[in-house]
Amino acid sequence: MLNFRNLPAVPFLLCVPASLALLEGTKLDPNLVSAAHAESQQATAQPVPTGAREVPARSIPVPNTVSPQMQAIIAQPLNSSWNVVPTTVEEWKARVEKAALGVMAELPHLREALGVTVVPSAIGGVKVFLVTPKAIPARNRDRVLLHLHGGVRVYNPGEAGTREAILLSGFGGFKVISVDYRMPPDFPFPAALDDAVAVHREMLKTTKAKNIGVFGTSAGGSLVLTTMLRAKMEHLALPGAIAPSTPTADLTKTGDSLFTNEMVDNVLVSQDGFIRATILLYANGHDLKDPLLSPIYGDMHGFPPTILTSGTRDLYLSNTVRVHRKLRAAGVEAVLQVFEGQAHGQYNRDITAPETKEYNDEIARFFDLHLGR
Amino acid sequence: MLNFRNLPAVPFLLCVPASLALLEGTKLDPNLVSAAHAESQQATAQPVPTGAREVPARSIPVPNTVSPQMQAIIAQPLNSSWNVVPTTVEEWKARVEKAALGVMAELPHLREALGVTVVPSAIGGVKVFLVTPKAIPARNRDRVLLHLHGGVRVYNPGEAGTREAILLSGFGGFKVISVDYRMPPDFPFPAALDDAVAVHREMLKTTKAKNIGVFGTSAGGSLVLTTMLRAKMEHLALPGAIAPSTPTADLTKTGDSLFTNEMVDNVLVSQDGFIRATILLYANGHDLKDPLLSPIYGDMHGFPPTILTSGTRDLYLSNTVRVHRKLRAAGVEAVLQVFEGQAHGQYNRDITAPETKEYNDEIARFFDLHLGR
C-alpha cells in the first residue's frame, strides 16, 4: 500500500500574490479547463449577463462519425410539416391515416428480414399485437416485453404501431406484446395510459412481474414512465426493467435541448407548431405538469432498472438526461446511451445501420441483465 | 406464463393499398415517431439533400431546469478570449501563469470547505500533489486515485492542477495523487503522457492495480484514455476503474457537437482559435490521429470499467458519447452521465451547486463499485 507519509516532501509554495486579494469574493470561474474564461472575465469586466445565448446563423455539416446509412438519414432536410397544424377532427384523422400507410408499407419487409410474426389480439379488453421472433432463446422463454409505441400521441394506430416491437423482437429474440392504445382526437388522455396499465395488469396474472420488460420511444417512452407512476398508485407489481427511449417526459416547453436543438433535429424540428398541437389535443385541458402527462414531475422512487436512449441532435435530449438524473437521484439503477449526431429516434431508423442493431442489442442486453427467467 | 397461443385472435388486415406500390423502393422514414416526416417527404418530393443543416440565428434562454448556481454559470457570456492566440513562448507562459493565479485563488477556500489537505511530492521522478481528505472511510483505506488535471493541454501547472482532485477527495473520501505533468510550450507531447504513465507504473509497486482509479477532465480525460492505451502497450496492469470526463478524445475537428454546440458552449466556444493553437502546440508536429493524441482512434478492448460525463451544451458531448459507444462495442462496462444545459465541465464548477456534489458522488460511487479494497 502506498503511504503518503513515506513519500519525499518538496518545497510547497502557496503562490497567492497580494494583487489576488482584490479578487477575493468575486465569482471566479473555478473550472480546471476554463482558466482562460476566468482570465477573460477578470480582464474585461463583463457586464452582468442577460443570460440568453445569442447564437449566430450556422451551417452544420453532416457528421462523418456515423455509418453511411445514418449520414443519409441525418442529411435529410427538416420535416417540412412541423408547423402544419390540423384544424378539424377530419384533418387530424386524414393526417394520421396517411402517415400510418407510410409506416406500414415498410413492415412486411421488416418482419421478413428479422424473422418476426405479428398477430393481432386483445388483452384485458385492449387491442394488442403479439410479436414473436422465429427463435426464442431459452433464457427468454418465460419473459415477455410490453411495448408502447411512439408517434407524438396521435400517430401509429393499429399495425403501424408495431414497427419498433418488430425490431426488438427480431434483434433481441423476445416475445413482445405491442399495445394498440387509444389515441386522440377520439380518445384523449388518459385513454392511452388506461390501456397500457390495463394490459400490464392483465399480464401480471400470467407472467411474473420480474419477467416483464416495458419499452417505447418518444410519446411511447413517456407512456412507459407514466405507466410506472400509475402502477405505483394502483399498487401493481412493477416490471423487471424498462427502456423509455427519448421520452417526451415534459410536455411543457421545458428542457434546454428543446431550444439548443430546435431547427437542428430534422425529425421533430421544434416543440412548437404540430407537436404543441398534439400535446394540447392529448392533454384535453389537463394541467401539462400533471405527472401522468409529464412524468418528469412524478415520484420515481422504486422504479425498476432503466435504460434511456437519446441522440446528440435530439430535441428531447434534455428530457432524457433529466429523467436519467432524476432516477439516479432516486436511487434507481439507470443507464444512459446517447447516439452521436442523431436526432429524435434516428438510431432506430434503418435495420441495416450498425447504430440500429447496436441500439436494439443494448436494450436486449439490459433486459437480459435485469429480467427474471 | 402468458402463452400467445391462448390469446384470442381477431381479424388482421394487412392494409397495403395499391397506391403504396409506388412507394416501394423509395427510402421511407421508418421511425415510429416521424410518420409526419415520411408524409412530408412523400408530399413535396424533396430535392436530394446537401446534408448541411442551415440553422438560423437564435436566442437560447438560460434553462430553468438546473440549480440557481448553475443557471448563473450558464448565463455567463461566451469566453471572450476563445479566439485570442499567443504568438510567442513568452505570451503562452504569461497567459498560463495569469490563468493559474485565478484558479489558485479559489483553492484555499475549497481545501478548507471540503476538509482536504494538499502536499507536494514526487513519484517516479514526476512532480505530484498528495491530496488527502480529513476522514478516509474504511473501504477506501487501501485505494488511491490517480488524477490527471485538465486545462486544454497548457493550463493548470503546479498547484492549480489540484482543484478537481480536492473536490473528489473531499466529496468521495479518497486519497488522490494529482500529477503535475509537464506541458508545452516547454514540454510538448508525449511528455504529459510519459509523466502520467510513470506515476501509474510507480504506484503499481505499492498498490494493487484493482485498487487504483484514474480520473480527469477534458485534456485530463483524454490523458486518462491515452494512459490506458500506453499501459496496454507496456503491459502494465490496468487500474480498477477510470473516470474520463468530457475527454477531448479527438484532436481533429471531428464530432458533431463541435459544430452543434459551437457558440453555445460558453466555456470553450469553438475548437478553432485558441483551442486549435493548444492542440498544435501540444502535438508538436505529430499526426493528430495518433491514438496517443486522439484516443478515439485507439483499441479500447480490455479497458477497465469506465464512467463518462458530459453536458448537453458541451462542445465535447460528441467526443464523450463516441468514447462511450466505442467502449461498449469493445465489451467494456461503460456508463454515461450527461448534465442538463451545461457546457464543458460546468457540472464541477461550484461546490455549493447540487450538480457538483452529484457529479462527484456518482464518480465516487462508481469507483466504490468497481475498485478492489
- List the single residue in A29, A101, A341 with the smallest CB-CB distance to B318: A341
Q: Quick check: bond before B190 cis, omega within 30?
A: yes
Q: What are A230-255's pLDDT values in tens digits?
A: 999 999 999 999 999 999 999 999 99
Determine the Cα–Cα distance for residues B12 and B34; give it in Å rounded to an integer.
24
Per the listing, cell 485538465 goes with B150
Closest CA to B15 of A104, A182, A129: A104
End-to-end CA distance of chain B: 43
| CA B355 distance to own-chain centroid | 16
What distance in Å separates the CA atoms of residue A93 and residue B356, rounded to the nearest whole number? 48
The distance in angstroms from the start CA to the end CA of chain A is 43
Distance from CA of A241 to the nearest CA of B (A): 17
How far CA B231 is from CA of B55, B226, B247, B250, B295, in Å, comes to 43, 8, 18, 19, 13
CA distance A188 to A153: 9
- The pLDDT assigned to A51 comes to 86
A152 contacts B36? CB cut-off 8 A: yes
Residue B315's nearest CA partner among A33, A220, A12 is A33
pLDDT of residue B3: 55
- Measured CA to CA, the distance from residue B307 to residue B242 in angstroms comes to 7
So what's the pLDDT on residue A41?
A: 42
User: Which among B31, B49, B62 has the least Cβ separation from residue A51?
Assistant: B62
Burial of A264 (0-12, 13-18, 19+ CB in 10 A): buried
B105, B149, B217 ranked by CB distance to A20: nearest: B105
Q: Which residue of A has its CA nearest to B73?
A: A29
CA B7 to chain A, closest CA, distance in angstroms equals: 7
Report the DSSP beta bridge partners of residue B310: B338
Of B52, B161, B274, the CB nearest to A62: B52
Domain range list for chain B: 78-370
| Interface mutation target, options B1, B22, B53, B257, chain A, most CBs of A under 10 Å | B53
Query: Is the separation of the CB atoms in A204 and A137 below 8 Å?
Result: no
Inter-chain touch B54–A52, beta carbons under 8 Å: no
All cell numbers assigned to A323: 429523467
pLDDT of residue A244: 98
CATH fold group of domain A71-370: Rossmann fold (3.40.50)
Residue A4 banded pLDDT, cuts 50, 70, 90? low
Which pairs count as long-range contacts for B134-141, CB under 8 Å and 24+ apart, including other chains? B135/B173, B136/B173, B136/B174, B136/B175, B137/B173, B139/B368, B139/B373, B140/B172, B140/B173, B140/B174, B140/B175, B140/B368
Q: Do A267 and B34 touch (CB under 8 A)?
A: yes
By residue count, chain B amounts to: 373
Q: How far is B271 from chain A (nearest CA, A)?
A: 13
Q: What is the distance between the alpha carbons of residues A311 and A301, in angstroms, rounded to a whole number?
A: 26
Find, in chain A, the residue whose alpha carbon is nearest to that of B313. Answer: A260
Question: Peptide bond before B185: cis, by omega within 30 degrees of 0?
Answer: yes
Best of A16, A34, A212 to disrupt the B interface (most B CBs within 10 Å) is: A34
A254, B65: Cβ pair inside 8 Å? yes
Q: Please give the model's pTM, rounded to 2 decimal places.
A: 0.90
Distances (CA, A) of B128 to A265, B178, B212, B340: 45, 5, 16, 33
Distance between CA atoms of residues B164 and A210, nearest Å: 41
Nearest CA distance, A156 vs chain B (angstrom): 7
pLDDT surpasses 60 at A36: no
Q: What is the dihedral of CA B268, B273, B279, B282, to 10 degrees?
A: -110
> Is residue A76 over pLDDT 90?
yes
Kindly list the residues from chain A whose CB atom is less than 8 angstroms away from the CB atom of residue B180.
Answer: none
Which residues, 6 or more positions from B321, have their beta carbon under 8 angstroms from its beta carbon? A312, A337, A338, A339, A340, B308, B310, B336
Q: What cell was used for A83?
A: 408547423
List chain A residues with CB under 8 Å of B35. 96, 99-100, 102-103, 151, 155-156, 160
How far, in Å, CA of B117 to CA of B367, rounded? Answer: 21
Query: B296: which 3 cell numbers?
Result: 478515439
What's chain A's average pLDDT?
A: 90
CATH code of the region B78-370: 3.40.50.1820
CB pairs under 8 A between A and B: 450
In this structure, the dihedral spanned by the alpha carbons of residues A188, A327, B220 and B115, taken in order and rounded to 10 degrees, is 140
- Of the residues A37, A123, A319, the best mutation for testing chain B's interface (the one with the most B CB atoms within 10 Å of its CB) is A37
How far is Cα B267 from Cα B350, in angstroms, rounded to an integer? 14
Report CB contact under 8 Å: A254, B103. Answer: no
User: Which residue out of B16, B32, B183, B202 would a mutagenesis test of the A interface target, given it has the greatest number of A Cβ atoms within 10 Å?
Assistant: B32
- For A215-245, letters b (16+ CB in 10 Å) and e give bbbbbbbbbbbbbbbbbbeeebebbbbbbbb
The answer to whether the Cβ–Cβ distance between B54 and A55 falls below 8 Å is: no
Say if CB B177 and CB B127 are below 8 A apart. no
Place of cell 445501420: A353
pLDDT, residue A33, reads 42
Report the share of chain A in percent with pLDDT over 90: 86
Q: Radius of gyration over alpha carbons of chain A, in Å? A: 24
Residue with cell 453536458: B311
B140 DSSP assignment? G
Identity of the amino acid at B126: V
Residue B357 grid coordinates: 456534489
Q: pLDDT under 50 in chain B at which residues?
A: 1, 10-49
The residue whose grid cell reads 399480464 is: A203
All cell numbers assigned to A166: 418488430
Residue A87's region, left for phi above 0, alpha for psi from -120 to 50, else beta, is: alpha
Task: Among A77, A144, A336, select the one facing B337 at the smallest CB separation.
Answer: A336
Contacts of A59 in chain B (CB under 8 A): 52-55
Contact B64, A254 (CB under 8 A): yes
Quickly list DSSP for B171-189.
Answer: HHT-EEEEE----TTTS-T
A57: which residues sit within 8 A by CB, 6+ positions away? B54, B55, B56, B57
The chain A residue lying nearest B11, using CA atoms, is A120
Give dist(CA A139, CA A133) in Å, integer: 14
Residues B336, B308 contacting (CB under 8 angstroms)? yes
**Measured distance CA(A63)–CA(A66) in Å, rounded:** 7
Residue A198, pLDDT above cutoff 50: yes
The ipTM assigned to this model is: 0.89
Which cell goes with A33? 479547463
pLDDT of residue B4: 58
Does A164 contact B32 at a Cβ distance shorter than 8 Å? yes
Contact (CB, 8 A) for B319 and B296: yes
